Chains A and B, each alone.
Chain A
Amino acid sequence: MREGVTRSRRRGSAILLACLLVLVAGLFLASLAVGPVLLSPEEVLKALAGEGTETARIIVAEIRLPRALLALMIGATLGLSGAALQGLLRNPLAAPSLFGAPAAAAFGAVTVISLGVVDALSFALPFAAIAGALASVALLILVAGPRASLLILILAGLAISSLAGAGTALALNLAPNPFAALEIAFWLLGSLEDRSMRHVLIALPFMVAGAAFLIWDRRAFRALTLGEEAAASLGFNLTGVRLRVVIGVALGVGASVAVAGTIGFIGLVAPHLMRPFVRYDPGRLLVPAALSGAALLLAADIAVRLIPSSGEIKVGVLTALIGAPFFIALIMRRRHDLSGAAS
């Protein structure tokens, strides 16, 4: 009987992965097709193969491909980071944005830009953003301690967010000229517009490294279902797990912010949507959460091109507009547990 259950479950996760891959591939193609010039799927495929009209080739390969790749990479990174943080902290409300990591990464990036050390296309930018994210997540875990309740984590995250926000505001405040300030402000809103393959190349290595750190500990996340003590007694070095998650989240979120500004709530929503499909197993959640994160951001980035407006709506604004009410709904559904945790 048990063997049958295991086999049907394995088939279930294979079907889930296949569905998610088809969805992501479909959205990726749609992202290449949609814009001021609407291309047919055929034209897109031809342009990718280096055929078709020159205009179509330029639109697809140089304008929309980097954008679609970044949406894919950043969405996957945020979904994976959220799932890993939720696994580590054993709480479905944990997400990088709630703990101030993106805000701190933005502060790191804005500081080096406004100091005029580097321009927005430099390879040094992700390092500054990653340093910001790393400092914030490390500070969070330091402040909250090993047995932190969610309340403490969120309060500490709020404080770190505010601090990073104030730092960013100061950098804007002291910006050498109003145009620089405006540019930084727009960049902060989170957007994938006008990105190039250079951005893809800047972010990719950090995201791959970050993902490797996060996926490494999937067995530990499963063991943490039993709490920290039992997980440690099952042979997991939790100090190492915590450190790898901190570094993995900082690498991924830092690189994301460095190339696209702050895009929130994907890390919260993506794991949540996938959890019932993996039967709440925090270890099996990681890859589906990454794929659904990619799908969400690809969809959001297509939506901002379709929504009629005077200028293009920034994708970070859209994810916050959809994600924040989702977060509110999640809090309302878990009100009971949360008031227990806070006491």
Chain B
Amino acid sequence: MNPPEKILTVSGLGVRFGKRAILAGIDLAVSAGEVVAIVGPNGAGKTTLLRAIAGLLPAKGNIEIAGSPVGKLSLAERARRVAYLPQGHVFHWPLTAAEIVALGRLPRGAGADLSEADRLAVSMAMAATGVTEFAERSVTTLSGGERARVALSRVLATEAKLILADEPTASLDPRYQLIVLDILRRHAKDGGAVIAVLHDLGLAARYADRIVVLDSGSVAAAGAPRDVLTKALLAKTFGVNAQIVTLVDAPVVIPWSVT
């Protein structure tokens, strides 16, 4: 059997804002089929890491996407390979859900009129997140959970191998949190890869193949959830005493008290 396709290789990544180093010496490799969760305390550099990989800010070091150095890719080609779901799901104009999802086809050359392939990708992406019934509704009339799924459909519609999702479960109720993570999991199963910033350590442990713990701009630990999420590490990086139990193979982490 062939080793899984390398989708992302990051080495020695560093980001500075002025004199302040936000990230330093980050190494990260992600293969097809993997979901990687990035966790860490507020201000650890999680969002900055996603943005650097997405090419949204200048970074030092090497980033290779599907074997090509990111600097060698055109903006459109980079956008076809990496889809980025920012935090918060803002929609500035009241377009319909289907029109928002169709924006994901822009890197593939879609204009105001969609091609057959564009239309197919849009309807598949909407079916995957269960928002087909809202297709012709204005996004401003949708609930938070519905908007989150429309935003996720937009990312899926690009048909990029790598999805970068910044807190995709934030401000969603438990049911929608699971739905969103199931969709991301399925994307990986279908041959893609996902890097998601998550705050909920339990969800990270349950859905991720690997967890990368960021602390003050560098990797404090990385590996399988059960190896990474230890009491000692949680005390050191998050400053919490945690209760950890294992249920159905995944560690369940409950932050219990402040250290």
Stretch at the interface among B99-107, B190-198, B232-240: B99-107
- In the complex, the answer to whether B84 meets A225 with C-beta atoms within 8 Å is no
Per CB-CB distance, the 9 closest pairs between chain A and chain B, nearest first, are: A235-B79, A233-B84, A90-B92, A235-B76, A235-B75, A280-B93, A235-B107, A229-B86, A227-B90
Residue A333 at the chain B interface, CB threshold 8 Å: no
Beta-carbon nearest neighbor of A235 in chain B: B79
- In the complex, the answer to whether B95 meets A279 with C-beta atoms within 8 Å is yes
The B interface, classified by DSSP as helix, strand, loop or mixed, is mixed
Among A3, A230, A232, the one with the most B-chain Cβ atoms within 10 Å of its Cβ is A230
Chain A residues close to B by CB (< 8 Å): 2-3, 5-6, 10, 90-91, 219, 222-227, 229-230, 232-237, 279-284
- In the complex, the answer to whether A279 meets B75 with C-beta atoms within 8 Å is no
15 more CB-based (< 8 A) A-B contacts, given A222-B103, A234-B103: A3-B119, A5-B136, A6-B113, A90-B92, A226-B86, A230-B85, A232-B56, A233-B56, A234-B158, A235-B74, A235-B75, A236-B106, A279-B96, A279-B99, A281-B112
- On whether A225 and B93 interact (CB within 8 A), knowing A219-B106, A234-B107, A235-B78, the answer reads yes
In the complex, A227 Cα to B94 Cα: how many Å?
Answer: 13
Docked complex: B58-97 residues within 8 A CB-CB of A:
74-80, 82-86, 90-96
Docked complex: B103-143 residues within 8 A CB-CB of A:
103-104, 106-107, 111-114, 119, 122-123, 135-136, 138
Chain A residues lying within 8 Å of B56, measured Cβ to Cβ, are 229, 232-233
Residue B154 at the chain A interface, CB threshold 8 Å: yes
Chain A residues lying within 8 Å of B95, measured Cβ to Cβ, are 225, 279-281
In the complex, A236 Cα to B176 Cα: how many Å?
Answer: 31
Chain A residues lying within 8 Å of B84, measured Cβ to Cβ, are 229-230, 233
Chain B residues close to A by CB (< 8 Å): 51, 54-56, 74-80, 82-86, 90-96, 98-100, 103-104, 106-107, 111-114, 119, 122-123, 135-136, 138, 154, 158
B86 in complex: contacting residue of A223, A227, A235, CB < 8 Å: A227
Chain A residues lying within 8 Å of B138, measured Cβ to Cβ, are 280
Beta-carbon nearest neighbor of B164 in chain A: A233
Chain B residues lying within 8 Å of A6, measured Cβ to Cβ, are 113-114, 119
In the complex, A227 Cα to B92 Cα: how many Å?
Answer: 7
Chain A residues lying within 8 Å of B80, measured Cβ to Cβ, are 235
Chain A residues lying within 8 Å of B94, measured Cβ to Cβ, are 280
Beta-carbon nearest neighbor of A230 in chain B: B86
Chain A residues lying within 8 Å of B158, measured Cβ to Cβ, are 234
In the complex, A229 Cα to B178 Cα: how many Å?
Answer: 25
Chain A residues lying within 8 Å of B86, measured Cβ to Cβ, are 226-227, 229-230, 233
- In the complex, the answer to whether A223 meets B93 with C-beta atoms within 8 Å is no
Chain A residues lying within 8 Å of B122, measured Cβ to Cβ, are 2
In the complex, A225 Cα to B104 Cα: how many Å?
Answer: 12
In the complex, A2 Cα to B114 Cα: how many Å?
Answer: 10
Chain A residues lying within 8 Å of B54, measured Cβ to Cβ, are 233
Nearest Cβ on chain A to B197's Cβ, whole angstroms: 14
- In the complex, the answer to whether A219 meets B111 with C-beta atoms within 8 Å is yes
- On whether A233 and B123 interact (CB within 8 A), knowing A90-B92, A219-B111, A283-B112, the answer reads no
Chain A residues lying within 8 Å of B92, measured Cβ to Cβ, are 90-91, 224-227
In the complex, A60 Cα to B134 Cα: how many Å?
Answer: 54
Among A229, A233, A237, the one with the most B-chain Cβ atoms within 10 Å of its Cβ is A233
In the complex, A91 Cα to B92 Cα: how many Å?
Answer: 8
Chain B residues lying within 8 Å of A2, measured Cβ to Cβ, are 98, 119, 122-123, 135
In the complex, A90 Cα to B94 Cα: how many Å?
Answer: 11
- In the complex, the answer to whether B113 meets A10 with C-beta atoms within 8 Å is yes
A–B Cβ pairs within 8 angstroms, 9 of them: A2-B98, A2-B135, A222-B103, A222-B106, A223-B106, A225-B93, A226-B86, A229-B84, A233-B54
Nearest Cβ on chain B to A218's Cβ, whole angstroms: 8
In the complex, A236 Cα to B79 Cα: how many Å?
Answer: 9
Beta-carbon nearest neighbor of A232 in chain B: B56
In the complex, A229 Cα to B79 Cα: how many Å?
Answer: 12
Beta-carbon nearest neighbor of A222 in chain B: B103
